[in-house]
Amino acid sequence: MSLNPTSQPLSGRVAVVTGASSGIGEASAERLALLGARVVVLARRADRLADLVARIEKNGGSALAVAADVTDAAALRGAADRVRAEFGGADLLLNNAGVMLPAPIEELATDQWKHQIDLNITGLMNAIGAFTRQLVESAAERGVADLINTSSIAARNIFPNFAVYSGTKAYVTHLSRHLRAELGAKNVRVSAIEPGIVGTELQSHVTDRGAQDWLAGSKESMEWLTARDIAETVGFIAALPPRVNLQQVTIMPTGQAA
Ligand code: NDP
């Protein structure tokens, strides 16, 4: 079934989504495609990306799978070259790949600290490094481009045992504010999305028993957000008139206090 063009405000746009093989990235890629963007879906699990591309195409959209590890700067530069060659360059980057591994700091879970910093900070920067030039060029040509970074309420709120994760997300939020000031003059809108708890694979990577119990209790006491809730927000941000930049969106489960 082909889609009605009037319902496709992102028609003509090219969106790159990192962390697109599950959760928020996967749902956002589908949403952006539904709104008319050609979508480049990037993550490590090629099989999941192939399924996603098939689903998007079945719904009348257009997508390209790029299996890559965002912690590998050279791989991301290669991905950017491919996006330029196949789609003419990106005008939207949803910089979303991330991992949350809470643990008491005294346990010295240094491998988990490194994993979070490498992925949530260095991986995010690798994507920015690979795609910023394309965003700036697209904005100059087409009048607008978007850099949307997935942060978290952990960037601001205090959660015991989540210090390293929260630190990485504080980096994402603060970086986004600075880049907004720097790139806004070039018509590249920079936004940080700060979700509360969203039910995705993110929670399945948590190994700390205390955090697992806290998450299980939270799931019983409230209805968590879905990845689709965040995807709708991503689509909303991207479809705004070029003069409008949602700098920051905090999106919470109604029942989550902080
Ligand atoms: P998921 O675990 O479902 O998704 C994480 C995505 O990141 C996967 O697609 C995974 O794919 C990808 N990824 C992991 N490592 C790498 C890597 N080295 N290179 C490329 N891709 C990688 O979790 P969410 O959808 O929940 O998380 C998305 C973002 O949302 C994260 O930044 C997270 O911090 C943030 N967030 C999530 C919240 C929640 O409650 N769920 C709340 C607030 C923020 P693959 O393994 O195939 O590489």
Catalytic residue chosen out of the listed positions 113, 131, 162, 165: 165
Q: Measured from the CA of 21, which atom of ligand 1 is nearest?
A: 9
Residues 103-111: contacts with CB under 8 Å, at least 24 apart: 103/161, 103/207, 103/208, 103/211, 104/161, 104/208, 104/210, 105/161, 105/163, 105/164, 107/208, 109/208
Taking the CA atoms of residue 138, residue 12, residue 42 and residue 185 in that order, the dihedral angle to the nearest 10 degrees is 30
pLDDT at 153 over 90: yes
Q: Measured from the CA of 153, which atom of ligand 1 is nearest?
A: 43
Residue that is written with structure tokens 């090629």 in the block: 46
Q: Is the CB of 27 under 6 A from ligand 1?
A: no
Q: What does the pLDDT look like over 95-110, one tens digit per residue? A: 999 999 999 999 999 9
Q: Is the CB of 47 under 6 A from ligand 1?
A: no
Determine which residue's CA is closest to atom 17 belonging to ligand 1: 69
pLDDT at 1 over 50: no
Examine the residue annotation and report whether 171 is marked as an active-site residue of this protein: no
Nearest residue to 12 via CA among 68, 87, 122, 117: 87
Q: Is the CB of 230 under 6 A from ligand 1?
A: no
DSSP code string of the chain: -PPPGGG-TTTT-EEEEESTTSHHHHHHHHHHHHTT-EEEEEES-HHHHHHHHHHHHHTT-EEEEEE--TT-HHHHHHHHHHHHHHHS--SEEEE---------GGG--HHHHHHHIIIIIIIHHHHHHHHHHHHHHHHHHHS-EEEEEE--GGGTS--TT-HHHHHHHHHHHHHHHHHHHHHGGGTEEEEEEEES-B-SGGGGG---HHHHHHHHHHHHHS--B-HHHHHHHHHHHHHS-TT----EEEE--TT---
Average pLDDT score over residue span 64-76:
98
pLDDT at 115 over 90: yes
Predicted local confidence at residue 6, as pLDDT: 60
Average pLDDT score over residue span 238-252:
98
Q: Is the CB of 97 under 6 A from ligand 1?
A: yes
Mean of all residue pLDDT scores within the chain: 97
- State which of 150, 166, 228, 248 you would mutate to test the pocket of ligand 1, scoring each by most atoms of that ligand within 8 A of its C-beta: 150
Tokens coding 133: 């030039």
Per-domain residue ranges for the chain? 9-251
What's the whole-model pTM score?
0.97
Amino acid at 160: P
**CATH class of the 9-251 domain in this structure:** alpha beta
Ligand 1 centroid distance, CA of 114 (Å): 16
pLDDT at 154 over 70: yes
pLDDT at 2 over 50: no
Give Cα 258 distance to the centre of its chain: 21
Ligand 1 centroid distance, CA of 5 (Å): 31
Predicted local confidence at residue 7, as pLDDT: 84
pLDDT at 160 over 80: yes
Ligand 1 centroid distance, CA of 19 (Å): 5
Q: Is the CB of 253 under 6 A from ligand 1?
A: no
Predicted local confidence at residue 236, as pLDDT: 98
Predicted local confidence at residue 133, as pLDDT: 98
Q: Measured from the CA of 118, which atom of ligand 1 is nearest?
A: 18
pLDDT at 142 over 80: yes
